Amino acid sequence: MTDNIAGKVIVITGASSGMGAAAARHLAREGAAVVLGARRADRIDALAAEIIDAGGKARAVETDVTKRDDLKRLADAAVETYGRIDVLINNAGVMPLSPLERVKVDEWDQMIDVNLKGVLYGVAAALPHMIARKSGHIINLSSVAGHKIFSGSAVYSATKYAVRAVSEGLRQEMAPHNVRVTIISPGAVKTELLDHISEKDVQQANRDYVAQIGVPAETFARLVAFAINEPEDVGINEILFRPTAQEL
């Protein structure tokens, strides 16, 4: 079996909860050095300590992905500490769903800033290192909502469709540079994502649904590990997964 995770330096945004935290634990167990970014420094500090206590390698760097300088600092910290960046997982995201008629313009801005501009800032920070080494892997989080539009998901879906567009363009442009690009589009996963929906009726409906059918965050951890583990001449370009019970 290929072992293409051990020894890699993997930067993960949104590592303070949900799928980012699950991926950090899983990849560290597989022998990667993980560099964790998120705004809640206490959470990523505790996760890094947990990984180190278990014999792994981890560093936490407080990061707000809406700030370009923060992503540069995160990427630079990985290079300073471990010498390079093998993989960047642009996982940070927010999903304050609501119908457009409720005109939650600040939340629209936040979704564009975190889900789209945050991904671009991550790419901007990591790409020069990867191109210089002619090696790397960028993994971007889209969603089933980046393939379909639901009532209340218009702006969230717009950001996740955009992530797919950026990722496919990046894949084409990076082929000569030996940088792999993967889009992962999850369906319903049990995380903290619904906690920040401000419209209570929308939040409750989504909570009921995800509580009923959602799969654990470790599902994502296994699939991201699969994409990384493939040999360097194979790019897993798209993974779309849903709970078996999810219809749409």
Task: Please state the closest distance from residue 225 (CB atom) to ligand NDP, in A.
Answer: 16
Q: Between 92 and 179, whose beta carbon lies closer to ligand NDP?
A: 92
Phi, psi of 92 (to 5 degrees): -55, 135
Task: Please state the closest distance from residue 25 (CB atom) to ligand NDP, in A.
Answer: 13
Q: Between 233 and 247, whose beta carbon lies closer to ligand NDP?
A: 247
Task: Please state the closest distance from residue 100 (CB atom) to ligand NDP, in A.
Answer: 19
Please give the span between the terminal C-alpha atoms of the chain, in angstroms, as a whole number. Answer: 35
Q: Between 42 and 201, whose beta carbon lies closer to ligand NDP?
A: 42
Task: Please state the closest distance from residue 119 (CB atom) to ligand NDP, in A.
Answer: 9
82, 156, 161, 209: which is the annotated catalytic residue?
156
Q: Between 13 and 182, whose beta carbon lies closer to ligand NDP?
A: 13
Task: Please state the closest distance from residue 159 (CB atom) to ligand NDP, in A.
Answer: 8
- Which residues, listed in sequence order, are joined to residue 13 by a DSSP beta bridge? 37
E strand or H helix that includes residue 41: helix 41-53
Please state, in angstroms and as integers, the Cα–Cα distance from residue 221 to each residue in 25, 68, 141, following that order. 8, 26, 12
Give the tokens for residue 215.
């799969």
Length of the chain: 248
Active site annotation includes 156? yes
Give the tokens for residue 44.
């990523």
Instruction: Give contact residues for ligand NDP (rule: CB under 6 A).
Output: 13-20, 38-40, 43, 63-66, 91-95, 114, 141, 143, 186, 188-189, 191-193
Helix axis angle for 118-133 and 68-82, nearest 10°, is 30
Radius of gyration for the chain, computed over Cα atoms and rounded to the nearest angstrom = 17
Nearest to 48 by CA among 20, 76, 69, 68: 20
Q: Between 75 and 83, whose beta carbon lies closer to ligand NDP?
A: 75
- Cα distance between residue 46 and residue 38, in whole Å: 12
Q: Which residues are catalytic?
A: 156
